[in-house]
Each structure stands twice: as structure tokens, then as C-alpha cells.
Amino acid sequence: MQNYEVSRSEIEARFRTLKAEHPERFQRRLEMSWSNWGFGLERLEKSCARLADAGLHFIELHGNHYDPDLGYGVEQTRQILQKRGLSCSGVCGMFAIENDLASARPQQQQEAVSYIRREAEFARAVGGVPSRCAGGGGPC
């Protein structure tokens, strides 16, 4: 047996023991969320329909408030989510060179802070929480 197989067997055994000893902890099903930023430029209404049709109840929204005049509107977003029976699990932060909090350039740091504030405000307004994504094709 390879090391990963040994580790997997040990994890599975611990899981089965825990489930047998505390079945009440496993009654609630895992609820999945999907981030719509992966759907590219698809309209939010279409993404929400797709996710609702797949049986999901939560969506992580693309953090597209790159400027105060850009991004999803709060009321329209709430209406679309309600229509499809979805709740916002969060807002995925999309960071790039222009809004890099770790940059040595104060302008880029300020852009990041302003962006985060806009996304946090939007997330709060639609019932979600901010989350993190590297953006620019990086891992989330």
C-alpha cells in the first residue's frame, strides 16, 4: 500500500468511528455554493438559473465592483437571488496588479483597500460575506 492509501484508510476509519459515535452530527447535509466568476461574462440571471437548476442553494458572487460605478446593483441582485431561491454565501475578491494590497506602491494599496470596502459593503447588503480569490487566473 502507498502512503496516500494508508492515510486515506486512516481518515476513512476515523470518519466512520465518529459517524457511529455521533450520528446527530451527520444529519444535516452539506450545502454547496458555487462562485459565478467562473462563468465569465454570463449574465447573473442565467448563472443563478443554472445553479438553481443544479439544486444548489448558495452562490458566491463575483466581486466586480472595481470602481464605485461598476458591478452588480444591490436591489437587482437581491431580486435575482430571491427569484431563483438562492442565498449569497459570499463575494469573491478579484485582485490584480492594479489593486494589490501587498504592493510596494501606495496607489495600488489604496485601490485594494477601496475595492475591499466596496465588496464588503455589497456583501453585507446582499447577505453574504467577503472571501478571497487571487484573480488573474491564480488559485482561489
Kindly state whether residues 8 and 75 are assigned to the same domain: no
Is 139 among the domain residues?
no
Is 140 among the domain residues?
no
Does residue 67 surpass a pLDDT of 80? yes
Which residues contact residue 55 at a Cβ distance below 8 angstroms, ignoring those fewer than 6 apart?
none
Kindly state whether residues 57 and 23 are assigned to the same domain: no
Range of the domain at 13: 1-29
Report, as an integer, the average pLDDT of 107-130. 92
pLDDT of residue 125: 96
Could you tell me the pTM of the whole model? 0.74
pLDDT of residue 130: 60
Domain count, the chain: 2
Kindly state whether residues 19 and 38 are assigned to the same domain: no
Is 89 among the domain residues?
yes
**33-59 per-position pLDDT tens digit:** 899 988 988 999 999 999 999 999 999
**22-33 per-position pLDDT tens digit:** 999 999 888 888
